[in-house]
Amino acid sequence: MSTTTEKPPVTKSTQKYIGRAMKRVEDPRLLKGVGTYVDDVQLAGVVHAEFVRSPHANASIKSINTDAAKKLPGVIGVFTGADINEKAGTIPCASPLPGGKSPVHTVLAGSRVYFVGHPVAVVVAKTRAIARDALELVEVDYEPIPAVIDPEKALEKGSALTHPELGTNVAFTWGLAGGDVDAAFKEADRVFKLRILHQRVTPMAIEPRGCAASWHSGESSLTLWTSTQIPHLIRTLLPGMIGIPENKLRVVTPEVGGGFGSKLNLYSEEAVVSHLAMRLNRPTKWIEGRRENAAVTIHGRDQIGDHEVAIKNDGTVLAIRSNIIADIGSYLQLLTPAIPTLTGLMIGGCYKLKAVKVDITGVHTNKMSADAYRGAGRPEATYIIERVMDYVADELGLDPIEVRLKNMPQSGEFPFTTITGLQYDSGNYQAALEKAKELAQWPRLLKERENARAEGRLFGIGLSTYVEICALGPSKIMAAGGWEWGCVRIEISGKVTVITGATPHGQGQETSFAQIAADRLGIPIEDIVVLRGDTATAHFGRDTYGSRATALGGTAIAMSIDKIIEKTKTLAAALLEAAPADIEFAEGKFFVRGSEAKSIGWGQLASEAYVAKNLPPGFEPGLEASSFFEPPNCTFPFGTHICAVEVDRDTGQVKILKYTAVDDCGKQVNPLLIEGQVQGGIAQSLGAALMERTVYDENGQLLTGEFMDYAIPRALDIPEYALGSTETPSPSNLLGVKGVGEAGTIGATPCIGNAVIDALSPLGIRHVDLPFTPERVWRAIQEKGGTL
């Protein structure tokens, strides 16, 4: 294998599973093709929904004629906004900002459409093919209106308005100031300006979205199966929209074929399909096509930033003043406004800035909404600050590593309070940087660059030393509770059922949560089953996003186990004829302190607890506990990525020669899964750095509407890796876990970007916008004459 990892994890006898690279228990069903994704859910008598969607970015609807579609044999009904909008609520935004202006977001368009793909009507038919045929028979008379596409022009006086009723294209403004910015700029030896564009990207999970709903008329209850990251948040939000009580809605998340934030939303289709299942009293299913997925599932990033940086001649970065325009598209989806605020909060990266001022303007345009895409605001922040660090080094003729070291807090300074008011929980940034240098063979890389440049080749080295905010988060900063829930039940047989309110969808927590539970209970992992993704079994949950599932969901499970152990001590004491205070628990056994030989295990205790013949007074039967873990703080994983690239002078093609990553995600539960998260994250980041860009033309037509037009990395694009880690436990949860789901997408784009700019620097090129496609790089080279 060509991924170099430093050394196998150490397994101590008292820590049998945590820290061990274990293959996943969820894999066999997926490998045999018998996992159940939403389109695999079989429902008797199911009917199929397909959506009529706007081909225009901006148009008023003059009329809709559904007669011909309704007459097509096999069509059950055709419904427009006029038929449904009153009954299916409006799409919620959970993170509105004070003073923000947002349009009413009905599930189907009313008298106007605002983006290509905007749903206008829904067709229900006996088969998916008939529903698709019927789409073409729905006649919609549109009157196109010039589209608002450029977010900067949208802010100019007299610009056309995306939503005329708001009187502005400004959806929200948000500001953050820390430290004395004016004083820092006065103190500066130099000030420079940098304009950084972070392009719009499309998440492109390989499984598009989809949902199916079934109305149980006898119970007046609804079951919704949906390919989502957030069944619990949907159960909180959807009932009010479709007019049923919360306790009459069950949301099931079967296997989910990738999310990356794109399934962290409550979408129109979920509300419409739920409503139709109730209205028609027939199970109703909708499966998104790829073109729909590219057009109407949320996009990510899309920020334009103008940054002013105050520095000292010794490389100290004093302050950043940023104006960021976020092109948020036509509507506020669930977390749309929150994303750029994360950019603001994290803009100082892992450095000790004296002052920061960030002003963000969210702008409405006639595009699909932008929202959380893996990293969600932090990749943008990291790209800015890590480009700044290289710019400083270039400006002052210093080593980029020395500039970073100069500005980092020391490990003894944690918890470290940033100038933006965050408290970084723990860290040792220098250690990760040192380790990455070692793995990357830094001196050799420098030599290779020197040799390559001597031959006239465009060879560059880049690095990024990132920090991210994860395990989101304390409820006081979250819209609808930031806790996580878990439940542990020792069954009567002694087998253990663990239920998590986090909703893993490919990350592997059926395995890693079993590792946590097995160690804490002192039992074989084979005796544990982890349940997830069904609100009927996982009664509470805040689900999976923001690299939160293990830090928060794993902790809720550990807390539940601790409660069961405490309770069981009373039972063990009665059976061992001792005082509860004298009972100890270790390695799955309860015993009287000092006489370990005479112990009882979970099997016997569970049996006693449920058969309930010999219970001590006041002992409630059963061995089950659940917990809500409310985190005191977020976690702050960090690391250093280093890569070497070579740019082909004739074609502009960038080739990554070697990629090194050292990530610190706190305590590691399963290093194999962590490696998978890191590699997958880097690949997505590589896509954003080198090829991915969601493009709307000047009329608002989406030009990147499928995989033939939107490039995501393929096997040939991926470099060989040298991966390593450091392990700095988080003090924010009892497992010491920080989270790793987004590390790769946050650390890698700036690393690659810095390497490409370094490769081009002998030509006098100091900046190229993302993504570094061959065309862009080639043009940049041509502008400089193409020669050294």
Partner 1 sequence: MNISVKISVNGVLHEAEVEPRLLLAHFLRETCGLTGTHVGCETSVCGACTVLVDGQAVKSCTMFAVQADGTEVTTVEGLASNGEMHPVQEGFWECHGLQCGYCTPGMMMTAVQLLERNEAPSRDDIRHALDGNLCRCTGYTHIIDAVEYAAKKGRA
Residue numbers at the binding site for partner 1 (CB under 8 A):
1-3, 23-24, 26-28, 30-37, 39-40, 129, 203-208, 255-260, 289-290, 505-508, 672-673, 675-676, 679-684, 706-708, 712-716, 718, 720-721, 744
The token pair at 733 is 């949860």
Q: What letter does residue 410 receive in the DSSP assignment?
A: P
CB atoms within 10 A of CB 645: 29
How far from chain centre, in Å, is Cα 65? 40
Q: How far is 284 from 43, CA to CA, in rounded Å?
A: 9
- Smallest distance from partner 1 to CB 372, Å: 16
**Closest CB to partner 1 among residues 720, 783:** 720
Q: Which residue has the tokens 């225009």?
A: 56
Q: Give residues with Cβ within 8 angstroms of 465, minimum separation 6.
A: 349, 350, 386, 389, 404, 408, 429, 432, 433, 638, 639, 640
**Closest CB to partner 1 among residues 309, 712:** 712
The token pair at 548 is 């939160």
**Closest CB to partner 1 among residues 123, 147:** 123
- Smallest distance from partner 1 to CB 350, Å: 24
- Smallest distance from partner 1 to CB 748, Å: 10
Asked if residues 84 and 122 have their Cβ atoms less than 8 Å apart, the reply is yes
- Smallest distance from partner 1 to CB 291, Å: 8
Q: How far is 141 from 123, CA to CA, in rounded Å?
A: 17
- Smallest distance from partner 1 to CB 38, Å: 11
**Closest CB to partner 1 among residues 488, 678:** 678
CA atoms 481, 487, 12, 734: torsion sign: positive
- Smallest distance from partner 1 to CB 705, Å: 10
Q: How far is 195 from 191, CA to CA, in rounded Å?
A: 14
Asked if residues 671 and 19 have their Cβ atoms less than 8 Å apart, the reply is yes
**Closest CB to partner 1 among residues 329, 680:** 680
CA angle 430, 431, 436 (to 5 degrees): 100
Q: How far is 376 from 303, CA to CA, in rounded Å?
A: 12
Selection from 712, 715, 718 nearest residue 657 by Cα: 718
- 3-state secondary structure labels for all residues of 418-445: CCCCCEECCCCHHHHHHHHHHHHCHHHH
Return the CA Rg of the chain.
28
The amino acid sitting at 483 is W
Q: What are 226's strand-pairing partners? A: 211
- Smallest distance from partner 1 to CB 674, Å: 10
**Closest CB to partner 1 among residues 18, 686:** 686
Residue 157 φ then ψ, to 5°: -60, 135
Q: What letter does residue 333 receive in the DSSP assignment?
A: -
**Closest CB to partner 1 among residues 129, 579:** 129
**Closest CB to partner 1 among residues 454, 715:** 715
List the helix and strand counts (H, then E) for the chain.
20, 29
How far from chain centre, in Å, is Cα 514? 23
**Closest CB to partner 1 among residues 260, 267:** 260
- Smallest distance from partner 1 to CB 258, Å: 5
**Closest CB to partner 1 among residues 268, 512:** 512
- Smallest distance from partner 1 to CB 274, Å: 23
- Smallest distance from partner 1 to CB 742, Å: 13
Selection from 358, 320, 324, 348 nearest residue 192 by Cα: 320
* Strands 249-252 and 221-226, sheet pairing: parallel
**Closest CB to partner 1 among residues 33, 443:** 33
**Closest CB to partner 1 among residues 203, 750:** 203
- Smallest distance from partner 1 to CB 708, Å: 6
- Smallest distance from partner 1 to CB 502, Å: 16
The token pair at 698 is 């000047």
